[in-house]
Amino acid sequence: MKIDILIKNGLILKFDKKPTLNNIAITDGKILEIGTNLEQKYKAKLIIDATEKIVMPGFVNTHSHVAMSYFKGLADDLPLQEWLTKHIWPVEEKFLSEEFVKDAAIHGCAEMIKNGITTFNDMYFFGDQTAGSVEKIGIRAVLGEGVLDFPVANYQNADEIFAYIRKMHDKYKKSELIDFAVAPHAIYTCGKENLIKSKDLALELGILLHIHLSETKQEVDDCIKKTGLRPVEYLDSLGFFEGDVVVAHAIWLDESEQNILAKNNSSIAINTSSNLKIASGFDSFKSYLEHGVNLSIGTDGVASNNNLSMLQEISLTAKLQKALNNDPTILPAKEMIQIATIGGAKALNKNNQIGSIEVGKKADIIIVDTDCIEAQPMYDPYSHLVYSLASEQIKDVIINGKIVMKNRKLVNIDENEIIEKAKYYQRKIMEFNHIK
Amino acid sequence: MKIDILIKNGLILKFDKKPTLNNIAITDGKILEIGTNLEQKYKAKLIIDATEKIVMPGFVNTHSHVAMSYFKGLADDLPLQEWLTKHIWPVEEKFLSEEFVKDAAIHGCAEMIKNGITTFNDMYFFGDQTAGSVEKIGIRAVLGEGVLDFPVANYQNADEIFAYIRKMHDKYKKSELIDFAVAPHAIYTCGKENLIKSKDLALELGILLHIHLSETKQEVDDCIKKTGLRPVEYLDSLGFFEGDVVVAHAIWLDESEQNILAKNNSSIAINTSSNLKIASGFDSFKSYLEHGVNLSIGTDGVASNNNLSMLQEISLTAKLQKALNNDPTILPAKEMIQIATIGGAKALNKNNQIGSIEVGKKADIIIVDTDCIEAQPMYDPYSHLVYSLASEQIKDVIINGKIVMKNRKLVNIDENEIIEKAKYYQRKIMEFNHIK
């Protein structure tokens, strides 16, 4: 039988058993078989020799703003309000357009793949343009169109955005790679009416709700002052958690809020780098785990993070949690890798399709080199992934059964073209900002 | 005039002015000139085109255990005592030998260079063997021979170690790359007598003192109980800070201790990854900075960290400090880069020779690629180094005027040989540990 890809001799990370050397047959976008002697059984169009390599599910990044690529490192080490109002919002107001989003999104998607991300859950504007870039590069995405009470991008009001989401949902419903989602920006930018409309639309279309929540203490205090309820309680009072919900950040939750999320199978996208860097704060996730809240990992946008390395994100999160809890055993390496893969898949209600290496699942797989000084010796691949390795070692990326990065070179796009475009926008943004 | 190396068209990070495109002429181990038109003026044996690259001083890693390479990832996510007594000490007891240290040290040195480290300040045993590996690979090092009250490695007592340090100091005194140092392990493994002898020897030979200090709260509590003094006060009462001192970790200091360090020009080696991962704790460094304590960055050994990425370490440290102080402006990117370079050089009392790019200083220089998707666009090279880039982008490393890594390939050693040796020791350690 002819198949698309055969991965041979890789150290395969299946979460239900010990890492084992094995082969994977991939065809029609899916994992057809995992086993020995597959090279005899199948004739593959592409054979990837994964000797001395880890073969694992791709990372699922559950909170991003992919088209903010060109704002990476534009302004740092500043108070949040100054950063937003004096730097980010002015350039967004000036530059945000369909063309800009298309270009910036392909840059962001390229950077995601370089970091082993095979699916991302985005929140931004002009999702149709992002979708075009997503399909071009071949990554999997859930594209949350931002909903706010005031005019943004090319929308005059939230109702226009809801109409747009309906249209996009319809346009991409047969896409193998793209889902749309409703992304009310936050409880401080969306009033009750638009939060409820967002939720109703998501339920009607059976799509995800994606919201920033409890990112700062200020947000929590303001919510209590205004509604008498904490943010999760407030959203719960609106029936917000009836569908599939990802709340991003969520570092200021009390136990009752954790209970609400757990009870509703809602998920948290942890964004440790961004939270620390902007000094939004941090929280121990021990109680979240004990309450059974599903955790996943987000990178946030590169304007605040400023990179898309999931390996850095899980390393940072694991280490910080150990210190915060005065307990080096919390969030061990294997659990962190699960949170960043199947945890993310669960958050997006896609754990039947992606997030682990299983026969019948979509082939979203990354291959990590261990035949290098940084990875040797290796006693435990999970430990190395979380504590020792970096994206440099992620060599090949397969998404939906197609190879999109081979030996760190992107397959479907010209990297130099992307770099030149970034430089072009950089010049324009610097001119606008009068940076000399 | 003939010179060794010409670096042309690089974005040069000199801390006293804005990053500027320029050329650097290097000869006889030193920076001869920085300026335009150097290509016409000098005939270089090697020309490095640094177009679209950052040219900066190499990182100075002020706390490491370079020969612990083969214990990387051997045991993680464990309580400190279990990790030490059940995993690290047994394998050290079994395997530590001259041969082992020589092999493990070259692995560690190779990994340091891959991470842009041009000088490291080590603490371990069998320094003569480490020195051999250091010279072979061409890195700069201060080799602190560990002093403990009980027999270790091949020493029966501390006096043997002091004699060894004298011998090594003499043997390597003409070395361009190597200094020896006295490294009393900690106040809980060295009694008053050996701490004073360590200090006296360091003062006599004019070499560095390097000690673990106030890494855990337990250590502080025990010290107070035993001596009535906090650790820094206790060492001060012994005259320990009269010479050049690097204290590693130091996350449990009060203000009076910070004052003592500042007054004595003693330096701290910050080891954030290790402290978080083992759950030793963390401290805000705001007060340290206000008291004028010189800060530098250490990676600690790979048995606890588990990598040698200085970029990861400065990124983590900067972000954590912002969150701890609820202040995103603390430790801005340029300051972090200075801490990791000239701060480290100051800690080792070598800031007249290394740590910045200045005419007359040793040419310890790293070249970082920015012509890649992860680094584009680029508004500020300092921001990118701290928040966006990883060691993957460190392409070339020059130490003492000689190129030791070219386009991420080590020049003076065979990387495959090092990898094979690591696998050999891994098998032996796994056999010993009955890891299946």
pLDDT digits (tens, 9 = 90+) for B220-246: 999 999 999 999 999 999 999 999 999
Across B184-201, average pLDDT: 98
C-beta of residue B2 within 8 angstroms of C-beta of residue B45: yes
Q: Whole-angstrom Cα distance, residue A291 to residue A262? A: 7
Least CB-CB distance to A76: which of B281, B387, B435? Answer: B387
Q: Tell me if A329 and B77 make a contact (CB, 8 A cut-off).
A: yes
Please give the pLDDT value at position A84: 85
Amino acid in the structure at residue B171: K
Q: Whole-angstrom Cα distance, residue A114 to residue A392? A: 8
Please give the pLDDT value at position B200: 98
* pLDDT tens sequence across A304-325: 999 999 999 999 999 999 999 9
Which class would CATH give A2-57+363-410? mainly beta
Q: How confident is the model at residue B81 (pLDDT cuts 50, 70, 90)?
A: confident
Please give the pLDDT value at position A435: 60
Tell me how many residue pairs between chain A and chain B have CB atoms under 8 A apart: 209
Q: Is the pLDDT of residue B249 over 90?
A: yes
User: What are the domain boundaries of chain A?
Assistant: 2-57+363-410, 60-347
Q: Is the pLDDT of residue B277 over 90?
A: yes
Contacts of A430 (CB under 8 A, 6+ apart): B379
ipTM of the prediction greater than 0.95, yes or no: yes
C-beta of residue A59 within 8 angstroms of C-beta of residue A341: yes
Q: Is the pLDDT of residue B328 over 90?
A: yes
Q: Tell me if A423 and B70 make a contact (CB, 8 A cut-off).
A: no
C-beta of residue A248 within 8 angstroms of C-beta of residue A210: yes
Q: Tell me if B78 and A329 make a contact (CB, 8 A cut-off).
A: yes
Question: pLDDT over 90 for what percent of chain B?
Answer: 96
* pLDDT tens sequence across B20-44: 999 999 999 999 999 999 999 999 9
Q: Which tokens go with A253?
A: 């939750």
Q: Tell me if A383 and B76 make a contact (CB, 8 A cut-off).
A: yes
For testing contact with chain A, the best of B69, B335, B376, B428 (most A CBs within 10 A):
B376
Please give the pLDDT value at position A436: 47
* Residues of chain A found within 8 Å of residue B392, distances taken between Cβ atoms: 390-392
Q: How far is B133 from chain A (nearest CA, A)?
A: 15
For A94, half-sphere exposure in the C-beta direction (CA atoms, 13 angstrom radius) is 16
Please give the pLDDT value at position B106: 98
* Residues of chain B found within 8 Å of residue A17, distances taken between Cβ atoms: none
Q: Is the pLDDT of residue B153 over 90?
A: no
Q: Which tokens go with A57?
A: 């599910």
Question: pLDDT over 70 for what percent of chain A?
Answer: 100
Least CB-CB distance to B72: which of A73, A377, A418? Answer: A377
SS (H, E, C) chain B: CEEEEEEEEEEECCCCCCCEEEEEEEECCEEEEEECCHHHHCEEEEEEECCCEEEEECEEEEEECHHHHHHCCCCCCCCHHHHHHHHHHHHHHHHCCHHHHHHHHHHHHHHHHHCCEEEEEEEECCHHHHHHHHHHHCCEEEEEEEECCCCECCECCHHHHHHHHHHHHHHCCCCCCEEEEEEECCCCCCCHHHHHHHHHHHHHHCCCEEEEECCCHHHHHHHHHHHCCCHHHHHHHCCHHHCCEEEEECCCCCHHHHHHHHHCCCEEEECHHHHHHCCCCCCCCHHHHHCCCEEEECCCCCCCCCCCCHHHHHHHHHHHHHHHCCCCCCCCHHHHHHHHCHHHHHHCCCCCCCCCCCCCCECCEEEEECCCHHHCCCCCHHHHHHHHCCHHHEEEEEECCEEEEECCEECCCCHHHHHHHHHHHHHHHHHHHCCC
The answer to whether the bond into A377 is cis (omega within 30° of 0) is yes
Q: Whole-angstrom Cα distance, residue B301 to residue B319? A: 22
Query: Nearest CA to A305 among A76, A113, A58?
Result: A76
Q: Which tokens go with B150?
A: 């009980």
Superfamily holding B60-347: Metal-dependent hydrolases (3.20.20.140)
Alpha helices in A138-296 (DSSP H): 158-171, 192-205, 217-227, 231-237, 255-263, 272-277, 286-290
Question: pLDDT over 70 for what percent of chain B?
Answer: 100
Stretches in chain A below the pLDDT threshold 50: 436
Higher pLDDT, B436 or A361: A361
Q: Is the pLDDT of residue B436 over 50?
A: no
The answer to whether the bond into B351 is cis (omega within 30° of 0) is no
Q: Is the pLDDT of residue B282 over 60?
A: yes
Extract the runs of DSSP E, i.e. beta strands, from A237-393. 245-249, 267-270, 294-297, 365-369
For testing contact with chain B, the best of A17, A270, A374, A425 (most B CBs within 10 A):
A374
Q: Tell me if B114 and A373 make a contact (CB, 8 A cut-off).
A: yes
Q: Whole-angstrom Cα distance, residue A279 to residue A251? A: 12
Chain B residue with minimum CA distance to A389: B307
Q: How far is A102 from chain B (nearest CA, A)?
A: 16
C-beta of residue A11 within 8 angstroms of C-beta of residue A19: yes
